[in-house]
Amino acid sequence: MSIITILGAGVMGSAMTLPARDRGHEVHLVGTHLDRAIIDSIRSTGRHPKLNVKLPDGIAACHAEELSGALETADLVILGVSSAGIGWAIERLCETLTRPIPVVMITKGMHPEPDRLICLPDHVTAEVRRRCGLSLTVAAIGGPCIAGELAVRRQTGTVITARAPDFAQALCAMFETDYYHPRPSPDVEGVEICAAFKNFFAIGVGWAAGHLEMMAATENRAFNHNAAAILFDQAIREMMVLAQGHGGTAQSVWGMPGAGDLYVTCQAGRNSRLGNNLGRGLTYSAVRNGPMKGDTIEGAELGVSVAATLRSMIAAGKLEAAALPLTTALLDALTRDAALDIPWAAFHRS
């Protein structure tokens, strides 16, 4: 039995309480300043209002200002804030930690530096060391996991990645249940590139179903699945270029973190819906001001945040332009408000 503090009471952080409690761990779920209503609800009724389920018994639900107490005896921190909240989380950890506690991240994203993308475990490790001198061991979870399904104990497979194989293995052993199946991986860069970019590429795959609505109906009522499959294939090819360009391996890309997670991300969700809308011929700004006003679209936010870095890596020859036609088209759609025209003939060429 371990003592686990989850920082961030959003859907994914909170869903981790299921395998954690089912394996008998002591769980402190600490909300951010944005999670006050969630924490109050869990305290009073046990229910998580966004997951729309009653969480397991025995969770200590805490407000942000109670983080310090929740960390006092913790063996492990699960970092479950949103991508946008990572700076806030680093600040809180630096204020609060008095000793290094191992961290496992479920936050997805890449930290852009001018000449390369840094995966979040490395970013958190470096920032915490720089600011408060503590050396954290940071792992991350990738792979296909819809929080609402984990929260009702649906079969779920993930990959837990850490540079130290023993740490990844220990984390898997700590959370494995008969419905939650984490597998260890040493490929931090590959898993993290996939975790972030599967959302981005799901926008591309979503184009096909949206574009179908703009095409004249045919007598045989043909769908546009062949086109979606080309886009899915090209997404895997380009995730491989991006992963390998950052030191990741092919196996993460064709495995659970890449192809597996892209598969589930294309079944539903906001990234797909943005893609549908771009397929209908709307520009990204028109979608944001219209049908998806106010929505957080993770893949689009990622694209906007990494566009300058990726373009400069391509210009410097660190990433091959001819190998990234879908990436380029998506970046242009997200940052230059270009129509998303799919460059079919450029696919599968390099």
- How do beta strands 26-30 and 3-7 pair? parallel
CB-nearer residue toward a copy of itself: 165 or 344: 344
Q: Which residue has the tokens 């740490």?
A: 167
CB of 309 to a copy of itself, least distance (A): 26
> Least separation, in Å, of the C-beta of 230 and a copy of itself?
4
**Would you say 249 or 312 has its CB closer to a copy of itself?**
249
Q: How many CA atoms lie within 13 A of 129 on its CB side?
A: 10
Binding interface with a copy of itself (CB under 8 A): 51-53, 143-146, 148-152, 154-157, 178-179, 181, 183, 208, 218-220, 222-230, 232-233, 236-237, 240, 250, 253-256, 259-261, 263-264, 267-268, 342, 344-345, 347-349
Three-state DSSP state, 343: coil
Contact (CB, 8 A) for 275 and 204: yes
Least separation in angstroms between CB 316 and a copy of itself: 27
- Residue 108 tokens, joined: 């997805």
What is the 8-class DSSP label of residue 145?
-
| Other CB atoms within 10 A of residue 157 CB | 15
Q: Residue 69 CB, nearest distance to a copy of itself (Å)?
A: 30
**Least Cβ distance, residue 26 to a copy of itself (angstroms):** 25
Nearest-approach distance from CB 204 to a copy of itself, in angstroms = 13
Specify the residue, 61 or 151, whose C-beta has the smaller distance to a copy of itself. Answer: 151
Outline where DSSP puts E strands in the chain. Answer: 3-7, 26-30, 47-48, 53-54, 59-62, 76-79, 103-105, 110-112, 117-119, 138-142, 156-161, 180-185
For residue 269, what is the DSSP state?
Answer: S
Q: How far is the CB of 155 from a copy of itself (least distance, A)?
A: 4
Q: Which is nearer to a copy of itself, 57 or 178 (CB)?
A: 178
Q: Which is nearer to a copy of itself, 102 or 245 (CB)?
A: 245
Radius of gyration for the alpha carbons in the chain, expressed in angstroms and rounded = 20
Taking the C-alpha atoms of residue 207 and residue 198, their distance in angstroms, rounded to an integer, is 14
* Cβ pair 210, 283 in contact under 8 A: no
Q: Which is nearer to a copy of itself, 42 or 67 (CB)?
A: 42
d(CA 285, CA 333): 9
Nearer to a copy of itself, 154 or 336 (CB): 154
